[in-house]
Structure 1
Amino acid sequence: MRDYSIRKRVLVTGGAGFLGSHLVESLLEQGNEVICLDNLFTGIKQNIEHLLGNPRFEFIRHDVTNPLYYEVDEIYNLACPASPIHYQHDPVQTIKTSVHGAINVLDLAKRLNVRILQASTSEVYGDPAVHPQSEEYWGNVNPIGPRSCYDEGKRCAETLFFDYHRQYGLDIRVVRIFNTYGPRMHPNDGRVISNFIIQALRGEDITIYGNGSQTRSFCYVDDMVDGFLRFMAVSDRNCPGPINLGNPREFTIRQLGEIVIEMTGSSSKLVFHTLPTDDPKQRQPDISRARELLEWHPETEVESGLRKTISYFDKLLSEENY
């Protein structure tokens, strides 16, 4: 069994994205060598520009739907557009990224016999009939709706990971990510926190879809990355997951809008629009498994994380004129 305390050569697909770039930073801080692979469809080169001079960092522009040929010690697969605006822009490519991409990274891991983590999503639970959502819940997903390219693509990727685990004994880790936020979120990704902050900083109306009673749970990016690293450090090959990672503190969308207005000192007003098709009404993780296995729980209070995120977007707006 490989000693995971020593320096590793790590491949991170989707490494120039919001979550991927933070993960890459943490892996480098641990002393690892990191290959950051991204096709820059939603990833941003600026997210990793400050790392380009690091001799242990390498950026490769590549699409995971094409085969991968690298020599690494472990793999994190984060490649896939994750916001509705981006994944619905090209739904066929989105599902190819989830499915063909999973096959390609799994084949690489199988050839090298290395541990691999799949960044799955709470969207595998769909519009849940169970609340909060535990890993045993199979979900309530529309297989033919406008969100299905992402939801079902991620569900199929999970299937592939577990079949490679059962059939080939591959050492896998599957995490189901609940809403995550923080600096480097794409300003135009359409996600609720980035939307609200951008609108509030501009003094525009805060757009709420539905009546605002639907709930979400928001996890700060540093806590999410810590969960990834803890799970990958578990040495037992028979510990594949899935594991929910997220913040169980639940907010209504209306509450979030009011908090953002207050924290930004904005004059923005809340305005209400029709709820999109298949938008889930509730989203809250049961993180009992993560607490027990990883001794993990979110440490960043939402208000603290929002202050850092607001500061990031405020600076971005002043510099980039978004």
Structure 2
Amino acid sequence: MVDKYVLTEIENLVSENKALFEQLHTRRVFVTGATGLIGSQIVLAFLMANEKYSLEIRITVLVRSLAKAQAIFGDDIERLQVVIGDVRDRLEVKDPIDYVIHGASVTNSLDFVQKPVDTIYTVVDGTRNVLELAKEQTIKGFVFLSSLEVYGSFEGQKDVSENDFGHLNPANARSSYSEGKRLAESLCISYAAQYHLPVKIARLCQTFGPGVDYQDNRVFAQFARSVIEKQDIILHTTGGTERNYCSIKDAIAGILHILLLGQSGEAYNVANENTLISIKDMAELVASLDASAAINVVVDLQDIQKFGYNPEVKLKLLTKKLADLGWKPTVDLPTMFAGVIESMKYSRVKHDEQ
């Protein structure tokens, strides 16, 4: 059963972006990473748009685990064309595809340092396979879900447009994800240039909201879990990293704007400029959401390499380019955290009941 908080977010997403969904009337969309956090909610949004507006969007999903897909989509899986396989293998889809949303990737930061080879090949080989599939089709749009990590780090605080790039050390195993995304972006642009594929790139900041797994180990989930379990928030760094964030709902709206309205061969930042905050201040913000005021923020410095953390960065993704397509964020940071906390509470209770 889909999290009720997720359903509310998706209902709002579909209602607020009706015109975008209507552009997909009777079209087939191929979604990779369809059981991931963002991919699954994109698929649920298409299903809801079909139900709400009778759009007959045809949805093909690539999944590695049928059981996981069934757990996420329930009876709705019968309304999907399911392709079971690994994105690193050659892909075959029997019906013509109109649009591609390529989101399959390694996302666990520990894997970036413990399984860097797998991380690189999943991103690079996976993207090549999806692009090859698209090349065989007459597609109308393709969006690759990239990451703010392609920007690397800068001296001091930096406002980052799509044309700004900092330092990235390829001799660090942690760079497997960042360098993999960079090369995958280059592949996308190369296919656009050589084969005239309408490929666009969405560079996502860290994105969260209802639907985050209770055991998710990313920093926002750790903070939310501390509130739920009434535990102090423990920082293993000074918390000096500053960046901005985005709700899943707003990120999906951004992805659809890029897919349908973006220019081929272009990259677009997807972030809420108003959410810029340091890790330390974010911890204080989340602690303040606990009504009992019993949660403290404790700094316990550790070797960041063993956690898979990035070096300290201070950057703010600028989103004018995406805003020029008509997109704007709708969810602020406190609301994002309130939503993820309630959703994680709900999923914890459901898990305990099973």
TM-score by length of 2: 0.82
Pairing 1:8–2:27 present: yes
1:34 deviates by 1.2
Q: What is the distance in 1 between the residues matched to 2:33 and 2:290?
A: 31
2:284 maps to what in 1? 258
> Is contact 2:188-2:265 (8 Å) kept?
no
Pairing 1:296–2:296 present: no
**1:1-322 superposed matches below 5 A:** 4-31=23-50, 32-40=57-65, 44-45=68-69, 48-50=72-74, 52-53=75-76, 55-70=78-93, 71=95, 72-114=97-139, 115-129=141-155, 131-234=158-261, 238-249=263-274, 250-265=276-291, 267-272=294-299, 273-274=301-302, 276-277=304-305, 278-292=310-324, 294-321=325-352
1:159 deviates by 0.5
Q: What is the distance in 1 between the residues matched to 2:25 and 2:160?
A: 36
The 1:260/1:16 distance shift into structure 2, 3 A limit, reads: same
Bigger shift: residues 94-103 or 31-40: 31-40
Bigger shift: residues 162-171 or 249-258: 249-258
- The DSSP-based 3-state class of the residue aligned with 1:88 is helix
> Is contact 1:121-1:154 (8 Å) kept?
yes
The 1:57/1:107 distance shift into structure 2, 3 A limit, reads: same
> Is contact 2:105-2:122 (8 Å) kept?
yes
1:5 deviates by 4.3
> Is contact 2:34-2:40 (8 Å) kept?
yes
1:46 deviates by 6.7
> Is contact 2:212-2:343 (8 Å) kept?
no
**Number of aligned residue pairs:** 315
> Is contact 1:165-1:171 (8 Å) kept?
yes
1:47 deviates by 6.3
1:254 deviates by 1.5
Residue identity opposite 2:332 in structure 1 = E
Gaps of 5+ in 2: 1-21, 51-56
Provide the identity percentage: 26
Q: What is the distance in 2 between the residues matched to 1:54 and 1:321?
A: 25
Q: Which segments of structure 1 move beyond 4 Å, counting only runs of 4 or more?
A: none
Q: What is the distance in 2 between the residues matched to 1:46 and 1:223?
A: 26
Q: What is the distance in 2 between the residues matched to 1:317 and 1:216?
A: 29
Q: What RMSD, in angstroms, separates the aligned Cα atoms of the two structures?
A: 2.3
Q: What is the distance in 2 between the residues matched to 1:83 and 1:265?
A: 31
- The DSSP-based 3-state class of the residue aligned with 1:176 is strand
The 1:216/1:47 distance shift into structure 2, 3 A limit, reads: farther
The 1:210/1:134 distance shift into structure 2, 3 A limit, reads: same
Residue identity opposite 1:7 in structure 2 = T
1:242 deviates by 0.4
1:303 deviates by 1.4
> How far does the alpha carbon of each residue in 1:210-237 deviate from its partner, in whole angstroms, 9 at most, with x for none?
2122212121100000011111112x7x
1:59 deviates by 3.3
2:7 maps to what in 1? none
> How far does the alpha carbon of each residue in 1:8-66 deviate from its partner, in whole angstroms, 9 at most, with x for none?
1111100101111111112223331212212259x95476234x435432333311000
1:106 deviates by 0.3
Q: Higher helix share goes to which structure?
A: 2
> How far does the alpha carbon of each residue in 1:132-166 deviate from its partner, in whole angstroms, 9 at most, with x for none?
11100123211121321100000000000001111
- The DSSP-based 3-state class of the residue aligned with 1:261 is helix
